[in-house]
Amino acid sequence: MARTPKTPAREPSAKPPTPRKPRAVKVAPGVAVPDPVEPPPPPPTKKPIWTHLYFQVLVAIGLGALIGHFWPSFGESLKPLGDAFIKLVKMIIAPVIFLTVALGIAHLRDLGKVGAVAAKAFAYFLTFSTLALIVGLIVANVVRPGSGMNVDPASLDQGLVQGYAAAAHDSTIVGFLMNIIPDTVVGAFTTGNILQVLFFAILFGISLAAIGERARPVMTLLESVSEAFFKLVAILMKAAPVGAFGAFAFTIGRYGIESVISLAALVATFYLTSALFVVVILGLVARFNGFSIFRLMRYLKEELLLVLGTSSSEAALPSLIDKMEKAGCDKPVVGLVVPLGYSFNLDGTNIYMTLAALFIAQACGIDLSIGEQALLLGVAMLSSKGAAGVTGAGFITLAATLAVVPSVPVAGIALILGVDRFMSECRALTNFIGNAVATIVVSRWQGGLDRGRLETALAGSGGAVVIGSRESDAD
């Protein structure tokens, strides 16, 4: 009988052993089972300092200053770099404001809150703009930076200031209010007038809120477009060092450090007064509202350096909107307060107006009485609002103010033309910080400030955002 061949044994498979399922642990009824402990997330990796935008802008400003000082002709030729960057940013300011404001109001639905935000914002602006004018007036009387110059008013060149005087004459309250209304919807976006864009955005946002759910497809589209524009802002900010380099090289190359020396008293007084206003007055406002002015400036350091390098606060407007929202301020509040503040909350410009007006009077040997200074203050309060949003508003409002005070010659602004560029940087920085503080304060007043997100942002923490700490309306 033939044997049946044995089947060869199979090789053991190379499959990894199947992991055992954890055995179910029986727990007595009523006993709580502790949650499994998850390992803490790894700490965020710290980026090298040269990869940060603020460091790149700071280096660019330093290089621009060196080139402008040692090679002034070459420094002047770099002006298009700064101009091109500012144009790039201005290109997107109008759509960013429109999308932020319109979507914010549409999400609010309660139109009464829109009026409340605007009323609180204007109350803040009026209070601190007036305070800035008074501070400039007091410091000019105490320090007297123009005393001893003994300038003959008849020797001043009228031609240098003719354009500013004409613009001041044409700037009226009625004309300003009429100019807020654009000729066409498209015209609001093409003229570059922030107030016209804001006006149309408010009306469009109200109409979206009024039609309710039928506006949902439009809002969804606008939200997607908004994300795209803020991504574009992030892309354009990578060119900020180039813009700051060109703008600063031009400023030093064209005007030179020497031009500051002759009017050093005025420039130093203005810078110290602005610093005093930010640190003491805005610092106390910030402290009263639960945050630190120094931490806020550190949070906005990239934007502040950008403003310093370009002498334009508009260059950092889109970034300010984005950062204020990330710091816990409500989108509708940010959308209304920031654009309005760029036209009506000009703390640095207001300090400059009264300080410069008294400097001109002192330089010409003119002693203004208390009544004349009170008139100067009152006119400055009105003219600073009437020329809001106008290019060269600082000089135009100063010319408009001096035109009403006959004792001080309008031609006197020719004395400060040479150093105005250096003071414009300080004006822009003070205006920018003032608007950031105003946004947080008005958000708190409106009950739309997320304290947890604000503290996380100002602390510079990369950790999780605290949710659920939004202040109530009763705060």
pLDDT in tens, 31-51: 545 555 555 555 556 667 777
Does the pLDDT of residue 185 top 90, yes or no? no
Q: Residue 294's beta-bridge partner residues? A: none
Domain count, the chain: 1
Does the pLDDT of residue 10 top 80, yes or no? no
Does the pLDDT of residue 268 top 80, yes or no? yes
Query: What is the structure's pLDDT at 173?
Result: 60
CA 417 from chain center: how many Å?
A: 25
Inside any domain, residue 61: yes
Does the pLDDT of residue 407 top 60, yes or no? yes
Query: What is the structure's pLDDT at 46?
Result: 67
Question: What is the residue-wise DSSP string for 319-348?
Answer: HHHHHHHHTTB-HHHHHHHHHHHHHH--HH
Domain range for 82 is 49-458
Query: What is the structure's pLDDT at 18?
Result: 56
Inside any domain, residue 24: no
Say which CATH number the domain at 288 has.
1.10.3860.10
116, 275 in Cβ contact below 8 A?
A: no
Inside any domain, residue 1: no
Query: What is the structure's pLDDT at 467?
Result: 34
Share of the chain above pLDDT 70, in %: 75
Query: What is the structure's pLDDT at 292?
Result: 92
Query: What pTM was computed for the model?
Result: 0.74
SS3 content of the chain, % helix, strand, coil (to 5): 70, 0, 25
Does the pLDDT of residue 387 top 80, yes or no? no
**Higher-scoring residue by pLDDT: 403, 358:** 358
Inside any domain, residue 40: no
Inside any domain, residue 39: no
97, 201 in Cβ contact below 8 A?
A: yes
Tell me what the mean pLDDT of segment 153-169 comes to. 55
Query: What is the structure's pLDDT at 280?
Result: 95
Inside any domain, residue 439: yes
Tokens coding 291: 């945050």
- 128 band by pLDDT with thresholds 50, 70 and 90: very high
Share of the chain above pLDDT 90, in %: 14
Inside any domain, residue 244: yes
Inside any domain, residue 341: yes
Residue 84 to residue 91: CA distance in whole angstroms: 10
